[in-house]
Structure 1
């Protein structure tokens, strides 16, 4: 081609705008994917380190999550840190949660903290309020005692300090709850709560979860509110924008929570059990007022123990069994007890109701 044949500026072909635009879009998408990749990798590493910090086995590790089977997990809310406490404290929140991937369902069963139960592993044989098991023998004794009380397997556990609840709620940006009645929480800070849907910050959520004196249903009403708060936190935690707060959340969880769930378990839960979080059902073990050795207790009837046991076992795909434990034995020794007017309930001499020092 001669110099005269070379195309002039005026007759050159214009650049292909679509092609250039496509390159720009591709570049932007690549940058976004790259940034998301970095964030995800960082989240993955950070979450792994966090779970390592929280991971505290208390016995043989269950394989049910890895096998994608229904499983149970004991949720313990210890009163350590609340009201300035520094000692281990009792587990004032006791919930047996069952997770069933086939039915896409989570079931929360609250156990009243004052329920009479044998502390499994105590020497000599000892019956106390069930919340004392955590203080007396740690999570291991608490898990064994709850499992024996209800005749159900406890596959995993998760313990969190109640004082950390306000931090976690603040980390997720607060929660929305439907408050069933108006009250002033005199014993937990004097906060005022009005009936209806409200947005609660961490301090309010903690007070709302702990109040029981102003509740007409006492500890049973508190159990329902605690389940309500748990569901609200889970709902908020499922929102994509919470990923932006992952460092705060994982840091606070590492400081305040212990569990025998592994990082692999949590990854499997995220992938294979994620649909269960949208279907949460609640239940309670109902007790009867009793007076035992100058202290107020809740005594669960044998019929009630069997009802709750059957419910939990059904969620786990297990057949029902007749509950046969120390509580049933004590019930048989008190045939006329019906829970009215804080009746006396007698414990056989086979057990002590005094904690060993």
Structure 2
């Protein structure tokens, strides 16, 4: 009986060991599946983002790796850099480029983990290189993003390293995809869009959809501060979008975001540079933004309205941006001789 008993005990022990092995194997398979799922999701995210970045990537014509105002190319992971953000009016025919209705310049400093953001009023009177003095938003219709970049570099005397263009349809689609954007409305007002739809805004915090945000960002005539108030509202939108993009829930909307980016956004920032930015600025949000402003006065020349920038204000802004970009050698070399006069404007 003992051999049989011993045999039964051995068989029972073997059965238990086999169950443990199966359990370990099942746990291992489960962990492997989870790991592969994470890799697949991460890979899918990276692939989709790469596709969007590839479809949106477009070089600056006539430029190699850097601005002419740079001695060496910048590296997003180490160096301060600048980005120009252009909101393009795309209600035009095939033979018309449209106009850059929104022009913003952002500078980033990795050591300070800060961003300085300045809005340039669309009617600002500037020198457009190889053309004449005119409203800055006309520069896009004259020579596309390249002419805008050249004009802004001439105006602010700082290098523009990267650009982002967003057409108005893309603007509304992005905000809708993100689930709206939160703003603090400064006063009650209402306005219409191009389809004559009327939108109402009330003082206080509101969450706006894409169409509402576009009307909110473009309204100017009812604002007692004119272009300044308009620019402030546009900066609110930018800050709100940054907060939404940095939210973990955005990951779940990657397919929709990729489609919007591919169809409506252009940039010369490569995928590796965008990833380097995310890694370098992990905690970047709206509180990291330092708002800048250009002061000036309204002026009519040949019965045409212009916003004429105050030279002292512009010179102060030049120095602020140069310091933020750590262009130390240029800090004390601000050109105060450039003036815009009535006789420069050709009718």
Deviation string for 1:104-132 (max 9, x for gaps)? Answer: 0011011111111111132xxx1100111
Aligned mates of 1:168, 1:255 — CA distance in 2: 11
Q: Does 1:167 align with 2:173?
A: yes
Deviation string for 1:9-68 (max 9, x for gaps)? Answer: 998699589987776555444323211211111221222222121111111223313552
* Structure-1 residue corresponding to 2:79: 69
Aligned mates of 2:77, 2:278 — CA distance in 1: 14
Q: Is the 8 A contact 1:61 1:260 kept in 2?
A: no
SS at match of 1:99: strand
* Structure-2 residue corresponding to 1:229: 237
2:54 to 35, 52, 55: 52
Deviation string for 1:287-309 (max 9, x for gaps)? Answer: 21111111010111221110111
SS at match of 1:288: strand
Shift of the 27–151 alpha-carbon distance from structure 1 to 2, 3 Å rule, reads same
What is the CA distance between 1:162 and its match in structure 2?
A: 2.0
Q: Does 1:258 align with 2:301?
A: no
Deviation string for 1:145-165 (max 9, x for gaps)? Answer: 011111111111111112211
* Structure-2 residue corresponding to 1:181: 187
TM-score in terms of structure 2 length: 0.87
* Structure-1 residue corresponding to 2:313: 304
Q: Is the 8 A contact 1:149 1:325 kept in 2?
A: no
SS at match of 2:41: helix
* Structure-2 residue corresponding to 1:347: 342
* Structure-2 residue corresponding to 1:287: 296
Which deviates the most, 15-24 or 190-199?
15-24
- Please list every run of 5 or more consecutive structure 1 residues that lacks an aligned counterpart in the other structure: 331-345
* Structure-1 residue corresponding to 2:275: 267
SS at match of 1:192: strand
Deviation string for 1:67-106 (max 9, x for gaps)? Answer: 520001111111114xx77642111111110011100001
Shift of the 14–259 alpha-carbon distance from structure 1 to 2, 3 Å rule, reads same
SS at match of 2:229: helix
Shift of the 292–270 alpha-carbon distance from structure 1 to 2, 3 Å rule, reads same
What is the CA distance between 1:4 and its match in structure 2?
A: 3.6
TM-score in terms of structure 1 length: 0.85
SS at match of 2:155: helix
Shift of the 57–13 alpha-carbon distance from structure 1 to 2, 3 Å rule, reads closer
Q: Is the 8 A contact 1:178 1:195 kept in 2?
A: yes
Q: Is the 8 A contact 2:125 2:308 kept in 1?
A: yes
What pairs with 1:1-357 in structure 2 (closer than 5 Å)? 2-7=3-8, 15=16, 26-58=28-60, 59-62=63-66, 63-66=73-76, 68-81=78-91, 87-122=96-131, 126-186=132-192, 189-277=197-285, 278-319=287-328, 320-324=331-335, 328-330=338-340, 346-348=341-343, 351-354=344-347
Which deviates the most, 263-272 or 95-104?
263-272
Q: Is the 8 A contact 1:148 1:325 kept in 2?
A: no
Shift of the 46–127 alpha-carbon distance from structure 1 to 2, 3 Å rule, reads same
What is the CA distance between 1:245 and its match in structure 2?
A: 1.1
* Structure-1 residue corresponding to 2:69: none
Aligned mates of 1:283, 1:109 — CA distance in 2: 5
